[in-house]
Amino acid sequence: MARQLAPCVWLLELGIPVVGANAFLVDDGTATRDGAVTLVDAGLPWIGLRRELGDAGFRVADIDRVLITHYDIDHVGGLRDLPDLDAPVFVGRRDADLLAGIYDPPLFHHKGAFHRFVRRFVSIPSRLDVRSVDDGTRIGGFTAHHTPGHNPGHTAYVHDELGVGFLGDLVWERGGSLTPPEWWDSYDTRQIKRSIRRFAGTVPPLELLCMGHGQPILRDGSEALSRLVRRL
C-alpha cells in the first residue's frame, strides 16, 4: 500500500521479495514555484502501479512527468500498465540510447548481454515522449545527477527545495544502512563507488533518501551517505 513519507512525497510499494523495486510520487504543486506531480520510476509490470497511485490519492491523469533512474525491468516495466499516461518520460542519456538501439552494451558482459536481450520485450512504450537527460539537467524542481556504474546512464534526481534524493540503484538499503549494489546486477562496481563519492560530495543537504530497493531513509540522509562513503 502507498505510504506518505513527507508532506509532498509518497512511496509506492511495488517491490516484492527477491525482485521488484520501489517507485515514488512527488506532488510539489503547493510547495515550490515549478510545482507538478512527478512519478519516479515505475516498478515491474503487473504489480499494481495504478492501484498504488490510487492509494496515494492520485489518478494517472494527474501525472505531469516521469523520471526514470535507469533502464531495468523493475524500474520501467510498470509504464506498460498505464496506457492512458500522457506525460514526458525522462531517462539518463546513455540508457535512453540503449532503449532506442543507438547504444549496444557490451555483448560479453553479464548485464550488457541481458539488456541486449530484454530490451526487445520490456521497454518504455514507444507511444510515450522519452527525453534524454544529462548531468545537471533541471526538470522542474529536480536536478539530474549522472551516476554511472549500475547502468551506463544511471541518473539520480534531487529535489533541492524539498531536500529529497531519489537514488534508484546508486545504493541499496539493508538493515537501516546503505550499501552499493552487487556486482551481478551492475556494469562496473568501481564506477559505482566513484559515483557514490561524487554524488555525496556535490549534492545539497538531503533529509530524505528514496532508493529503489530497501526502505527509505527518513531523516539525516546526507549523514547516511557520508557513513557509506567512509566505508568504501
pLDDT digits 0-9 by tens, 190-207: 999 999 999 999 999 999
Q: CB of 3 within 8 A of CB of 11?
A: yes
Side chain identity at residue 151, one-letter code: N
Q: How far apart are CA 195 and CA 186, in angstroms?
A: 13
Residue range 118-162, pLDDT digits in tens: 999 999 999 999 999 999 999 999 999 999 999 999 999 999 999
Q: Is the pLDDT of residue 31 over 80?
A: no
- For the chain, the average pLDDT equals 95
Whole-number Å distance between alpha carbons of 8 and 30:
9
The three grid cell numbers given for residue 101, joined into one nine-digit string: 538501439
Q: Please name each of the domains of the chain with its CATH number.
A: 3-231 (3.60.15.10)
Rounded Cα gap, residues 144 and 51, in angstroms: 28
pTM comes to: 0.97
The mean per-residue pLDDT over the stretch 23-28 comes to: 96
pLDDT in tens, 153-165: 999 999 999 999 9
Of 200, 202, 133, 203, nearest in space to 171 by CA: 200
